Structure 1
Amino acid sequence: MTWTVMPTFDEYAQARETFQWDLPESFNPAVDFLRKHDDTSRTALRYEQPDGGLETYSFDDLDERSDRLAAALADLGVEAGDRVGVVVPQKPQNPLTHLANWKVGAVSVPLTVLFGRDALQYRLADSEAVAVVVDPSVRETVDEIRDECPALEHVIELGDESSVGGDAHAFDDLLEAHESGIDVYDATPETPTAIMYTSGSTGPPKGVRHSHALWLGRAAAAYNYFDQGLEAGETTVWTPADWAWGAALGGTLFAAWHHGCTVVGWPRDGFDPEAAYDLMECHGVTKAFMPPTALRMLMAVDDPEAQFDLALETFASAGEPLTSEVVDWVDETFADVAINEFYGQTELNLVVGNSETWFDTRPGSMGKPFPGYELAVLDPETHDELEPGEVGELAVKPGDRRVFFDEYWKLPEKTANKQTTEGWFLTGDLVKRDAEGYLWFVSRTDDVILTSGYRVGPMEVEEAILHHPEAEQAGVIGVPDETHGEAIKAYVQPASDDYDSERLREEIRDLVRDRLAEYEYPRRIEFVDELPTTTTGKIQRRSLRDREGLVDDTDE
């Protein structure tokens, strides 16, 4: 019998021994998230608008609206296998577009409104998206890059004909012009579902293509790191993280809907801890996915349990290691709230974590393997398995291959290199495992920077900096930062000796924000006469880390 809700296990050992993936033969996530529940009139989404207004959507409401959008997409010529971009913040139109895509068999490309022109252009062009649904805040940028995206035929902007101009389609008008009742695409767990982009250190962002089984893998993990407490009709889930991020989209929003829970949508430009507590009180949030940066900001509010009537049961966190200060703060500040760190990758799902139902959280530890996965710590060179206490590369084997990614989009060699001949999938993360099975993050094997929960490839930032005419060369690394985990630091070699350092710093920051994303700009910039390079002219980032006192014997 296939499972639609994760089985509950009282003991970790029992879960590891008993759980097996048993995916259904037929599976469309739009049907799973919206139609399988006993009471589809229950509230699925509570959307708090920026102006304070509240919209409430049942599972039936979302089903009907996504039907209409799916019919509109089909009328525009979107077919099974076509890619459709989604550049919308935490608004109902974000999941509605994903659901509509899957109802016609299209593949979603989740993208953040924080992206600038270069980041959006590369991803829309590389994915060969035929259509994109955009928030008004990014419409101008999409118009600017449209000629550079040859496959892009249709732009759909949120709003109606009174607010949407030019040759874009108005989202509201498309829904109004179409009826529900579309025949949902006959899908399976192997049907392509999404292309998500991840940044690397040695090249442009890679598109990670997944199939529908992805969402079942993320729903299973969420059930565990939310302490097996995702109960239909009783649990309310919220995250401040952008729904373009895999852990927020699949591990929070869609995981909650798979289990029949209510989700709160709250699009905001920044994170205000007082407002966040107020939101959690107002909506009775019981489970919250909070990146470490958000948790550190919540710590600035004195005695939140005295100031706010909170229903919180569990904080889940990922993106960067939690410090002991954050874990201790949760334990000391809240009477009965768990904090469970978890770990995953865009490619390899969410595979490690903590669950206070099973074992104590150890500050700084990634946790233990979730049921359904085998993990090993391998020698990065030989791929031999290492003993506990030794530092090596984390490698993962899924119980069902389908819950992992299918391929790096149009990059067969990189796809092949992700897996060893013994079937281990390589994470690129150096870890060690202690005698009790807890895993501890040490560093990346490459130069990826973990900042505010985002992974940032330094090469992309360096290339953006070099668009400034006064920047001759640039090297980018991550440096420790109390609030953001790591901050992006750029070493910049000016093109001449005649420059105003403060002006140039601000211009470089603004340039990177505009071209890439708000979170990718270098918070720290140091001007240098010369940058260390290899004999082939590549920046030696290890030398820059050494300059910061950050190099240890795990560096390659």
Structure 2
Amino acid sequence: MAEDSQSGPTYEEVHRDFKWDVGEYFNFARDVIDHWAETPEKLALWWVDDAGREVKKTFREISENSKRFASAMQAMGIQRGEIMMVILPRYAEWWEIFIGALRLGAVIAPGTTQLTAKDIQFRVQASQAAAFITDEENAPKLEEVLADCPSLRVKVIVAARREGWVNYDEALAVASSEFEAANTRSDENALMYFTSGTVGYPKMTVHTHASYPYGHLVTGKYWLDLGPNDVHWNLSDTGWAKAAWSSIFGPWNMGAAIFVHHSSRFDPKKTLELLQQYPITTLCGAPTNYRMLVLEDLKQYKFPALRHCVGAGEPLNPEVIKVWREATGLVIRDGYGQTETVLVLGNFPYFEPRFGSMGKPTPGFDVQVVDREGNIAAADEEGDVAIRVKPVRPVGLFKEYFGDPERTASTYRGDWYLTGDRAYRDRDGYFWFVGRSDDVILTSGYRIGPFEVESAILEHPAVAESAVVSSPDDLRGEVVKAFVILAPGYEASEELKKELQEYVKHVTAPYKYPRKIEFVSALPKTVSGKIRRVELRRREWEGYKRPASSSQ
């Protein structure tokens, strides 16, 4: 294991010398993957599963298979600019499909395998997706709602054969590998991620070929600290924007190989065994992953290749960082960004981190804490985390919420894009997370809107009214808590709590279910009748010390 080092240029020097350098046209498949593919044996992907099977793919193989996939989709009628929904576990094919879609100029809309049929129906209808790619386990979900998804023309299944679906391997076997990448403009749509908001169903966050595929150059170079000789492991599921950050664009921009562990669940013991067994040099995980890892007996393991660790998704407890450093000699460097951005704040290798801090602004970004008028707040004064977008808009920021100009406009205040998070900046320039400025819940790396959970709970006949907020949790940072008013004829019980939890898991994606339920007789409301979630949230968090409020 290598010690973290602050040798090399200073923070000020890196920022002063940095310049965005994306041209009018950019296609990640052509300009990045095909570039690394010029070295025939250069490793791109190292895949393992729980049964001990391994698959290694070079950049040349990824390039060729992505060309075949683009050829096959084009032959099936999918055109540049059309939306392809991809819901797959950590199959190696996911990476080929991702690159192939970019090569074609199609727009990728990834989703987690935890989505229900109802979730899929909403996403297909809202995006007007033309193609759907998934596996045997998730195909029935689409079939359940297919009659209500008239925009879909193509269905592709991976690692299986199913009536009415095109088999992935068979389609590639007869497709050409001579596909010429679409000459996509840098500002052309490339990705669409669904992200939860305070009200309503998930927003469709649109990224261009510049904002994510090119923009994550700074994520890979400065925060992940990657180079062509690294093997990088990101623990995130393929359905989340974090996979785009750290499982594809960040590492491959830098020519690093991506390590993938295909498993149905996170197993801390297995994770430590893999870190010991394989030459993994850099690790990225959600704080929940690290909290689970430090509960194991770390003295039993040695990680000879590991040199750099990062965490993102929510604040990471300083205590966890200290335990990990004592065991490994490495500091977990916290970073901050959103589905709407690349990494915009981080504890970078070229300066000393402060445990629990969000870090300092990423090169290429002017990030500040601003007040209600858009003025930069004084040191140690709480305000909104904001990114300067005028007079020059930085690369790495989303284009829009698809089909929702009002919601898009609401994220701006004067010269600033507002992230929706509250923080303060200390006198040394480090940012410290305070909380969300809205009611969105961040748990185990997931972003959950209260409306979605409340809507699911209200479908149960026992529930008359419900309010959902975040509640503190030592392992997950925060969890979903539901306050429930029961309908006449129902009585509160532990059995009913469990029934409601299972019901929510069935109605919507399981990760959204309330881990805590409290039965109440009334909910705090405004004079106009709106539930005051802010008051419920304040009650939950009163007296609890958030991890990120501590310093080194």
1:466 partnered with 2:450: no
CA distance in 1, matches of 2:510, 2:262: 15
Number of the residue aligned with 1:389? 380
Contact 1:542–1:551, Cα closer than 8 Å, also in 2:
no
**How far did residue 284 of structure 1 move?**
1.1
Which position in structure 2 is the counterpart of 1:257? 252
**Displacement of 1:9:** 6.0
Find the aligned partners of 1:169 and 1:231 in 2 and give their Cα distance. 38
Q: Aligned match of 1:170 in 167, 170, 178?
A: 167
Find the partner of 1:532 among 521, 524, 530: 524
**1:391–1:453 distance in 2 versus 1, CA, 3 Å:** same
**Deviation for aligned residue 1:504:** 2.4
After superposition, the C-alpha distances for 1:470-517 in whole angstroms (9 at most, x for unaligned) are: 211111111110110001111111112434623322222222222322
2:289 matches 1:294: yes
Whole-angstrom distance in 2 between the partners of 1:500 and 1:396: 46
* Pair 26,144 (structure 1): closer, same or farther in 2 beyond 3 Å: same
Q: Which moved more, 1:238-247 or 1:124-133?
A: 238-247
Q: 2:512 aligns with which of 507, 513, 520?
A: 520
For 2:543 and 2:537, locate their aligned partners in 1 and report how far apart those are by CA, in whole Å.
Answer: 6
**Alignment CA distance shift 1:144-1:9 (3 Å):** farther
TM-score between both structures, scaled by the size of structure 2:
0.93
Alignment equivalent of 1:237, drawn from 198, 210, 232: 232
Quick one: which amino acid aligns to residue 530 of structure 1?
Answer: A
How many angstroms does 1:442 deviate by?
Answer: 0.4
Question: CA distance change for structure 1 residues 188 and 549 in 2, over 3 Å: closer, same or farther?
Answer: closer
CA distance in 2, matches of 1:193, 1:400: 18
Structure 1 residues 168 and 132, CA gap change in structure 2 (3 angstroms): same
Deviations 1:210-237, CA, capped at 9 Å, x for gaps: 10112222121232112x3x121x2001
Greater CA drift, 442-451 or 236-245? 236-245
2:109 maps to which residue? Answer: 109
Q: Which residue of 2 aligns with 1:277?
A: 272
Structure 2 equivalent of residue 98 of structure 1: 98
Q: Secondary structure at the match of 1:84?
A: strand
Structure 2, unpaired ranges of 5+: 1-6, 547-552
Q: How many Å separate the matches in 2 of 1:464 and 1:113?
A: 19
| 8 Å CA contact retained: 1:34, 1:40 | no
Q: Deviations over 1:268-318 (max 9, x none)?
A: 2211111001122222111111110000000012134x4344411111111
Distance 1:42 1:26, change over 3 A: same
Please give the residue correspondences for 1:82-481 in structure 2 after superposition, counting only pairs within 5 Å: 82-159=82-159, 163-213=160-210, 214-226=212-224, 228=225, 230-232=226-228, 234-304=229-299, 306-335=300-329, 337-355=330-348, 357-379=349-371, 381-397=372-388, 400-421=393-414, 423-481=415-473
Paired residues in the alignment total: 535
- Amino acid across the alignment from 1:476: V
Give the Cα–Cα distance (whole angstroms) in 2 for the partners of residues 56 and 239 of structure 1: 17
Instruction: Output the CA distance in 1 between the equivalents of 2:337 and 2:48.
Output: 29
Q: What residue number does 2:34 align with? A: 35
Given residue 152 of structure 2, which amino acid in structure 1 is its aligned partner?
L
Q: 1:318 touches 1:343 (CA, 8 Å); kept in 2?
A: yes
Tell me the percent identity: 33
Secondary structure at the aligned position of 1:365 is classed as coil
Q: CA deviation at 1:388?
A: 0.7
Q: Quote the Cα distance in structure 2 between the aligned partners of 1:196 and 1:510.
A: 27
**Preserved contact between residue 313 and residue 444 of structure 2 (Cα < 8 Å):** yes
Provide the rounded CA distance (Å) in 1 between the counterparts of 2:302 and 2:8: 33
- Decide which moves more: 30-39 or 293-302: 30-39
**Equivalent pair of 2:276/2:301 in contact (CA under 8 Å):** no
Would the aligned equivalents of 2:245 and 2:342 in 1 still touch at CA under 8 Å?
no
